Amino acid sequence: MGNRVSDVIIIGGGIIGMLTARELHHAGVEVLVIERGPLGGESSWAGGGIISPLYPWRYSQSVNQLAEISKQIYPGLAKQLQHESGVDCELITSGLLYTDVEEQQVAESWAKEWSVELHTVTDAEHIHQIEPRVNDTIDCGLWLPDIMQIRNPKLVKAMKGSFDTLGIRYLEQTPVTELNIDAGVIRGIKTAAESFNTDKVIIAGGAWSAGFIKYAKNVAVEPVKGQMIMFKGEPGLIRRMVLSSGHYIIPRKDGRVLAGSTLERTGFNKTITDDANVELRRAAVEIIPALADMEIERQWAGLRPGTEQGIPYICRHPEIDGLYINAGHYRNGVVLGAASANLMAEMVLGLSLSLDPAPYALDAVH
Ligand SMILES: Cc1cc2nc3c(=O)[nH]c(=O)nc-3n(C[C@H](O)[C@H](O)[C@H](O)COP(=O)(O)OP(=O)(O)OC[C@H]3O[C@@H](n4cnc5c(N)ncnc54)[C@H](O)[C@@H]3O)c2cc1C
């Protein structure tokens, strides 16, 4: 079959690939996203959609600056996506209540540094005013009222709808099998059926990215399985996201409540397990006892693109001209994604960069 041509080819149609495609499209670039399965069918579908790292004060500046930029972008982006696709991504400011307060001081200084509203709550009555359904034994916490959430399956559906409206090209069910590199310069990619010519390729393959960036030494993106369960709740019964000792609950607009998540290094394996079901349910009921009476409607797993410190690769390949990487967002691909896409687009377009790229380079610590 003959070669087909695009300005930029993006390998992987998860949230990272799709957000990057939108950025480039808006700059007038002809983009083609090539996705092995359905668009947004992997980690980007499976996540919780909390628009914040779980304990942001435990992360580096480089993660926090992407998160803070993305937080500014999401309200406008969600509106734009709804306009373009007719899909409401259910972006809501439900706030996040932390019931572990061992890190109170470090959390307070982080909040001050990043101008995030944070309240230290020291009495049970106030905690129960914030979220009346939390366990009666909880009598102190940290309350971040401005933290948003977005509903992942709706976000990826809206993104796909926006591609159709805007005319952003994509191929689904089409694995990229090879990069075509000649004398250190990218010439295109191959799928089982076709080759595509281009002088710019972006790897946004999530947990599968390492296979394509094997050309570089010390690249480490590995799959980290996360299982979740979903309770069939009633709208308004639980209003706030709550995080306790690494376990969280996320109430959606329609009353469903997500409880997550496991962290499992078991390779490219998305099997759901009874052990995880029991553990996630136990932790969720401990946070919100009323969940004990609710049916678990669904359980699923996704593969996060894991990096050691959760710092993504957003960079140009140092040895292969025209090859770029936007991958390795680990637990925070939704919250970091919008800012990452912005920075990636600036790199591809040769614009001046709005952030120091050093922490996201291939040879940096990730
Ligand atoms: C349980 C769970 C909870 C989470 N909660 C949150 C949260 O609350 N907030 C948050 O910000 N993040 C969260 N995350 C993390 C977030 O979902 C990920 O960081 C993000 O989805 C990564 O996006 P991605 O596009 O890099 O990866 P993916 O969504 O995995 O997309 C990569 C795509 O590349 C495709 N691909 C791979 N190889 C090829 C190939 N050879 N050819 C073509 N296509 C290919 C794959 O099919 C896939 O669709 C969570 C993740 C999980 C699993």
- Partners of 295 in the beta sheet? none
For 307, the token pair is 């990096």
In this prediction, residues 6-22 reach a mean pLDDT of 96
Q: Map residue 340 onto helix, strand or coil.
A: helix
Listed residue (254, 327, 271, 174) closest to 262, CA to CA:
271
Q: Tell me the C-alpha distance between 179 and 181, whole Å.
A: 6
- Is the pLDDT reported for residue 127 higher than 70? yes
* 217 CA distance to ligand 1 middle (Å): 23
- Is the pLDDT reported for residue 110 higher than 90? yes
Nearest CA to ligand 1 atom 2: 47
173 neighbors 38 (Cβ within 8 angstroms)? yes
**DSSP string for 100-136:** --TTHHHHHHHHHHTT---EEE-SHHHHHHH-TTS-T
Greater confidence (217 vs 250) lies with 250
Q: Counting beta carbons within 10 angstroms of the beta carbon of residue 169, is it exposed (0 to 12), middle (13 to 18) or buried (19 or more)?
A: middle
Nearest CA to ligand 1 atom 4: 47
Q: Tell me the C-alpha distance between 162 and 165, whole Å.
A: 5
- Reported as a single tens digit per residue, the pLDDT across 275-305 is 999 999 999 999 999 999 999 999 999 999 9
- Is the pLDDT reported for residue 339 higher than 90? yes
Helix axes 15-26, 152-166, angle to 10 degrees: 30
Place of tokens 């040769």: 350
- Is the pLDDT reported for residue 1 higher than 80? no
State the pairing for strand pair 323-327/201-203. parallel
Look up residue 340 and give its amino acid.
S
User: pTM here?
Assistant: 0.97
Probe target for ligand 1 pocket from 213, 331, 360, with the most ligand atoms within 8 Å of CB: 331
- Overall size of the chain counted in residues: 366
CA 11 to each of CA 16, 211, 287, 339: distance values in angstroms, whole numbers, following the listed order? 10, 12, 40, 19
- Partners of 316 in the beta sheet? 324
What average pLDDT is seen over the chain?
95
Q: Tell me the C-alpha distance between 189 and 172, whole Å.
A: 15
At residue 215, the pLDDT reads: 63
Sign of the C-alpha dihedral, residues 308, 314, 319, 322?
positive
Q: Which residues have C-beta atoms less than 6 Å from ligand 1?
A: 11-17, 34-37, 41-44, 46-50, 175-176, 204-208, 226, 228, 260-261, 302, 304-305, 327, 329-335
- Reported as a single tens digit per residue, the pLDDT across 61-105 is 999 999 999 999 999 999 999 999 999 999 999 999 999 888 999
* 132 CA distance to ligand 1 middle (Å): 33
- Is the pLDDT reported for residue 242 higher than 60? yes
Q: Report residue 218's pLDDT band, with 50, 70 and 90 as the boundaries.
A: low
At residue 157, the pLDDT reads: 98
